[in-house]
Structure 1
Amino acid sequence: MTPPPSLSPPLSRRVLAIWCAHLAIDRWRLAEGCDRGRDADAAPVVLVGESAHGPRIAAVNAAAQAQGAVVGTMLADARALCPGLVVHPADPAGDLAFLEGLALWAQRWGPWSALDPPDGVIVDTTGAAHLFGGEQALVADALRLLQRRGLAARVALAPTAGAAWALAHHGPQGAILAGGEDVARRLGALPVAALRLDDDVLLLLRRLGLKRIEDLASVERENLARRFRNRRSPAANPLVRLDQLLGRVPEPALPVIGVEAPMVQRRLMEPIRHRSLLDRVVADLAGDMARALEGRGQGARRLELGLWKVDGEVLVRRLEMAAASRDPAHLVRLFAARLDDVDAGFGIELVRMRASWTEPLALAQSDLEAAAENHGTSLAACIDRLTVRLGPQAVRRPAPQASHLPERAQRWQPPLAPVKTSQEEFEFHHRPLKLLDRPESIAVIYAAPDGLPRVFGWRGRRHVIARAEGPERIAPEWWRERSSVRLRDYYRIEDEEGRRFWIYRHGIAGDGRGGMPEWFIQGLSA
């Protein structure tokens, strides 16, 4: 009787950490078409984002850093040190989208990947190293391809995500931590910042004299647990991070899953140059796209039509619709207005349609009589036609916004986007029917510094106030404005001729935030 075959031991987990140390600057450099170390780094460049106190630096290149610009400082302070700064706006949303694409691209080294925001990617490479000739070859391949993409990246391979992150950020370039190696001994010399802790926790540990990971191991676990027992977040508890680093507790990650955009195309036997033939091809593609979307139970919100010409030029026309649709006739009608300026040249040999934004759209039984009366016209179709003709920024509607300041009490949004109807957004005082584009200064005569206005002059005319109501006091938004911003007292007034105005006093006498109060008119009432 032959003994049963022995089961092979389970594979130890292997995680690849990729840290793009200068993701925002590298992405800006790639968008500008600059090479690393040449034009892009010759001038000091900073990327800035808006904050409550003004522009703040979000990223710097090597030249700006050498001249004293530091991430997190105010732009005005950095200009004092380096007057020649070249300033560009930061794009955190674009950086995150780029990082998501990078995570999908990094799945060439493992079956799944996850984001490590704001500038990192985690790849599970368990059982995949032999496909590259070993772990050394896998890490070398990752460094080579990342450098080819123009990214300044650091890479490390370890049994856990925490250990790989620590080596990528604070270890040597391309470090590999073997599965059977003592993780605590190998990583003990790294700073406690390698545990991915919050800044306030790192400051507390430094004050306690715990500067390295091995220093935490020398402290009784009960003492650390007692000190951080109320810290729920892993980034605020060094014991949890240490256990994740050593693999004692699991660290779940949300994998990035690529969603394939529906796409149809026609590769033409003979290049076409006439508009009638192009319209016929677009109509065929619209029918194919409708069938593809119907099979997925989706409708298109954004469509891209690519035209490949014989001379190598690619023309792209985009549509963004107000509501999800897969009606071929509607799509053809919209694209017809975008193809009037197409120059076919020597001919178009490939036409491709891609739905880059889709939404669920269930099948529904249509009312035949209503469809016959409306001839297929709907509100969404009407908005799409207006958008194609007038432009995407010309067709919008106002929606209330949770702000007591009149100029911020509404926002513009797409025509069919849902409007929030929370109780807080509509608990405002009555506002005039018309607001001026910007408040205009007026001269006011009043009985006392805090009293009701009596007479005011505006645009060369003198208005005697017959009735006044107020004040309605509106304080500045402290989370958005500077601390020196003054409050406003609004008054609803009516002059002797029955005309009604909405004016406000900017500031209070003696508030310590400026001189005498100023008066402005902001609205007109019927």
Structure 2
Amino acid sequence: MTPEPCASAAIMKPIVPRRILSIWLARLSVDRWRRALAPEGRAAADAAPTALILETAHGPRIAAANDAGLAAGARAGMLLADARALCPELVTVPGDPAGDLAAIEKLALWAQRWGPWSAMDPPDGVLVDVTGVAHLFGDEARLLADVASAFAAQGLAARAALAPTAGAAWALAHYGPPAAILAPDDDPLRLMGDLPVAALRLDADVLTVLRRLGIKRLGQLAGVSGAGAEDPAQEAAARDALRRRFRNHRAPSANPLLRLDQLLGRMPEPLLPVIERPMPLVQRRLLEPLRHRAPLDRVVTDLAEDMVRVLAARGEGARRLELALWRVDGEVLWRRIELAAATREASHITRLFAARLDDVAAGFGIEMVQLRASWCEPLAFAQTDLDAAAEQHGTALAACIDRLSVRLGPGAVTRPVARASHIPERAQAWQPPLEPVPVVQGMLAFHSRPLKLLDRAEPIAVLYASPDGYPQRFRWRGEVREVVRVEGPERIAPEWWRERSTARLRDYYRIEDAAGRRYWIYRQGIAGDGRGGVPDWFLHGLYA
């Protein structure tokens, strides 16, 4: 008799080695800036040396630069003043780190076309698990080629690499050859020993310490740590010596031993996958096209009630709602409303959209209506009607703001808030009316300032007895005004941490003309201060 096969042997399957794809978008900030430009203006923008800057405590710093800017000497992390010394014609554009992070999150979801799950690798990378997926593209080389072509079609420069661990894939993508592949049976130390220690994703201060110790390559660090040693005792002694040197460094990015073990696969590296949460959406496909307003209002009311049920199941409220109307001729009409506070009140949603549907041209009819909530916030499960909740939650105020915003336009209803700055035009900002007011520390008790500030200080011609004397007469908007009373000056120094070193101080005066009208003017600079020529005069505000 033929013996029956062992049951355990029948269910055994070969273990598929893990494969991690690392995608590095080295020029994400610059690529996003280029994509925002009109196609006809990109050539001129590429030719001009341009740098994306961020405001820091020591002044503007360069976050990224285009090819022309790099050729002119601009580098990431450099102070803008130093870069302008090398390239006076350097063009500056505000950086957008928050937008870059949001773009990375969207790209991580988009990259799931190559693997079942993906993770963000901020500030400019994406990790994708492609275990057992390469054969769908032919092989791993063709998978990397598909990644490069897909990102190139999006206008994004990308470098990709494949390895058994996230650390090895990251190191190859950043410091290895293009489209590098580390096979599961390859020796990482043999193939990656010449890479710099920066390939371990370490902090700058740790890299400085390693360089002072003479460790510049992965192979050198592996030798010092005893990795690959035949004698376990020798390896343990070497690791203990290196561990004592960095015993105060607990973060992974400050621990060379931990990063090396993660790269070699000796220690697992937890990765947080990006999970797409579907947007709340309800729709109606109509049996007959709608051409009149009354049935359209009925459909919108039904959709609002459906949306409220969907939001209640998620424990959320809508802050932004978008209504799409599909016409028979294929055109789609969009109407969008933004709410001052999260809500799940169907009647309130219907009333707001009713004010936005007056100009809808149905044409030959509307055959489908769709409502989606593109911005949601957590909201308590129980919510009473708007009028009853007014005293406890201020919901009636939110409803009033919503109706005013729909009628007057987005951004028409705002509130002023104080900012920690002694410069008049920076001491106040505007924000949505129900957003929390930021806590401002270190505010100064200012002198009497006008309630009316001009959007931009206007230059005036002033006559005075001496360079540092009071103004006697000035011309503003074509009319000469005689000064009869003067109070001041109130001296305001520039904010040296955010302005250039050549910024001049201001001397503000409160003046009154012969007709009794009062103004707030200032002299910019002092004669002989070494920061410019003759001081200029400006009118900045008006008193009631």
Q: How high is the TM-score relative to the length of structure 1? A: 0.79
Q: How far is 1:318 from its partner? A: 1.5
Secondary structure of the corresponding residue to residue 44 of structure 1: helix
CA 1:136/1:416 → structure 2, altered by over 3 Å: closer, same or farther? same
What corresponds to 1:154 in structure 2? 159
What corresponds to 1:432 in structure 2? 449
Give the whole-Å Cα distance in 2 for the aligned partners of 1:427 and 1:250. Answer: 52
> Which of 46, 61, 66 is 1:60 aligned to?
66
What corresponds to 1:463 in structure 2? 483
Give the whole-Å Cα distance in 2 for the aligned partners of 1:264 and 1:343. Answer: 22
Q: Percent identity?
A: 59
Secondary structure of the corresponding residue to residue 376 of structure 2: strand
What corresponds to 2:23 in structure 1? 18
Give the whole-Å Cα distance in 2 for the aligned partners of 1:372 and 1:428. Answer: 36
Is this contact kept in 1: 2:317–2:376, CA < 8 A? yes
Q: How far is 1:277 from its partner? A: 3.0
> Which of 270, 288, 298 is 1:280 aligned to?
298
Q: Deviations over 1:65-86 (max 9, x none)?
A: 7975866486997999898x99
What corresponds to 1:174 in structure 2? 179
> Which of 243, 250, 264 is 1:246 aligned to?
264
Give the whole-Å Cα distance in 2 for the aligned partners of 1:232 and 1:33. Answer: 47
Give the whole-Å Cα distance in 1 for the aligned partners of 2:148 and 2:483. Answer: 74
Aligned positions of 1:105-144 closer than 5 A: 105-126=110-131, 139=144, 142-143=147-148
CA 1:309/1:94 → structure 2, altered by over 3 Å: closer, same or farther? farther
CA 1:462/1:419 → structure 2, altered by over 3 Å: closer, same or farther? same
Is this contact kept in 2: 1:49–1:89, CA < 8 A? yes
CA 1:431/1:359 → structure 2, altered by over 3 Å: closer, same or farther? farther
Q: How far is 1:364 from its partner? A: 4.3
What corresponds to 2:220 in structure 1? 215
Q: How far is 1:237 from its partner? A: 5.5
Give the whole-Å Cα distance in 1 for the aligned partners of 2:285 and 2:257. Answer: 60
Q: Deviations over 1:85-108 (max 9, x none)?
A: 999876544333222111112234
Q: How far is 1:282 from its partner? A: 1.8
Q: How far is 1:407 from its partner? A: 0.8
What corresponds to 1:306 in structure 2? 324
One-letter identity of the residue aligned with 2:66: V
Is this contact kept in 2: 1:454–1:465, CA < 8 A? no
What corresponds to 2:496 in structure 1? 478
What corresponds to 1:350 in structure 2? 368
Give the whole-Å Cα distance in 2 for the aligned partners of 1:489 and 1:372. Answer: 48
One-letter identity of the residue aligned with 1:49: L
CA 1:229/1:358 → structure 2, altered by over 3 Å: closer, same or farther? same
Give the whole-Å Cα distance in 2 for the aligned partners of 1:230 and 1:134. Answer: 44
Give the whole-Å Cα distance in 1 for the aligned partners of 2:284 and 2:432. Answer: 33
Secondary structure of the corresponding residue to residue 216 of structure 1: helix
Secondary structure of the corresponding residue to residue 161 of structure 2: strand
CA 1:66/1:525 → structure 2, altered by over 3 Å: closer, same or farther? closer
One-letter identity of the residue aligned with 2:106: G
Q: Deviations over 1:242-261 (max 9, x none)?
A: 34323445544333222221
CA 1:446/1:435 → structure 2, altered by over 3 Å: closer, same or farther? farther
Is this contact kept in 2: 1:299–1:324, CA < 8 A? yes
Structure 1 stretch displaced more, 352-361 or 96-105: 96-105
Is this contact kept in 1: 2:467–2:527, CA < 8 A? no
Give the whole-Å Cα distance in 2 for the aligned partners of 1:207 and 1:492. Answer: 60
- 2:340 is the alignment partner of 1:322: yes
Secondary structure of the corresponding residue to residue 313 of structure 2: helix
Secondary structure of the corresponding residue to residue 379 of structure 1: helix
Secondary structure of the corresponding residue to residue 393 of structure 1: coil
CA 1:255/1:407 → structure 2, altered by over 3 Å: closer, same or farther? same
One-letter identity of the residue aligned with 2:499: E
Is this contact kept in 1: 2:345–2:385, CA < 8 A? no
> Which of 365, 384, 395 is 2:413 aligned to?
395
Give the whole-Å Cα distance in 1 for the aligned partners of 2:483 and 2:267. Answer: 75
- 2:301 is the alignment partner of 1:295: no
Q: How far is 1:50 from its partner? A: 4.2
Is this contact kept in 2: 1:48–1:55, CA < 8 A? no
- 2:109 is the alignment partner of 1:104: yes
CA 1:419/1:291 → structure 2, altered by over 3 Å: closer, same or farther? same
Give the whole-Å Cα distance in 1 for the aligned partners of 2:387 and 2:72. Answer: 72
CA 1:71/1:336 → structure 2, altered by over 3 Å: closer, same or farther? farther
Aligned positions of 1:264-279 closer than 5 A: 264-279=282-297
Give the whole-Å Cα distance in 2 for the aligned partners of 1:82 and 1:498. Answer: 47
CA 1:124/1:428 → structure 2, altered by over 3 Å: closer, same or farther? farther
Q: How high is the TM-score relative to the length of structure 2? A: 0.76
Is this contact kept in 2: 1:272–1:349, CA < 8 A? yes
One-letter identity of the residue aligned with 1:184: L
Is this contact kept in 1: 2:340–2:398, CA < 8 A? yes
Q: How far is 1:128 from its partner? A: 5.7
Tell me the C-alpha RMSD between the 2 structures: 4.6
Aligned positions of 1:376-391 closer than 5 A: 378-391=396-409
Structure 1 stretch displaced more, 305-314 or 121-130: 121-130
Is this contact kept in 2: 1:44–1:86, CA < 8 A? no
Give the whole-Å Cα distance in 2 for the aligned partners of 1:26 and 1:176. Answer: 26
What corresponds to 2:46 in structure 1? 44
Give the whole-Å Cα distance in 2 for the aligned partners of 1:33 and 1:454. Answer: 50
Is this contact kept in 2: 1:67–1:82, CA < 8 A? no
CA 1:410/1:123 → structure 2, altered by over 3 Å: closer, same or farther? same
Is this contact kept in 2: 1:490–1:503, CA < 8 A? yes
Q: How far is 1:377 from its partner? A: 9.1
Give the whole-Å Cα distance in 2 for the aligned partners of 1:513 and 1:228. Answer: 49
Secondary structure of the corresponding residue to residue 368 of structure 2: strand
Q: Deviations over 1:425-483 (max 9, x none)?
A: x443244242431445464758995xxx65543443333447x4664x43322221001
Give the whole-Å Cα distance in 1 for the aligned partners of 2:363 and 2:73. Answer: 50
Give the whole-Å Cα distance in 1 for the aligned partners of 2:524 and 2:310. Answer: 59
Give the whole-Å Cα distance in 1 for the aligned partners of 2:299 and 2:152. Answer: 41
Is this contact kept in 2: 1:157–1:175, CA < 8 A? yes
Is this contact kept in 2: 1:60–1:71, CA < 8 A? no
Give the whole-Å Cα distance in 2 for the aligned partners of 1:41 and 1:505. Answer: 42
CA 1:97/1:368 → structure 2, altered by over 3 Å: closer, same or farther? closer
> Which of 341, 344, 347 is 2:359 aligned to?
341
Give the whole-Å Cα distance in 1 for the aligned partners of 2:70 and 2:436. Answer: 48
Q: Deviations over 1:405-435 (max 9, x none)?
A: 11101111112112124443x4432442424
Q: How far is 1:273 from its partner? A: 2.9
Give the whole-Å Cα distance in 2 for the aligned partners of 1:188 and 1:429. Answer: 62
Give the whole-Å Cα distance in 2 for the aligned partners of 1:87 and 1:519. Answer: 28
CA 1:23/1:515 → structure 2, altered by over 3 Å: closer, same or farther? closer
Structure 1 unmatched runs, 5+ = none
Give the whole-Å Cα distance in 2 for the aligned partners of 1:520 and 1:88. Answer: 27
Give the whole-Å Cα distance in 1 for the aligned partners of 2:163 and 2:343. Answer: 47
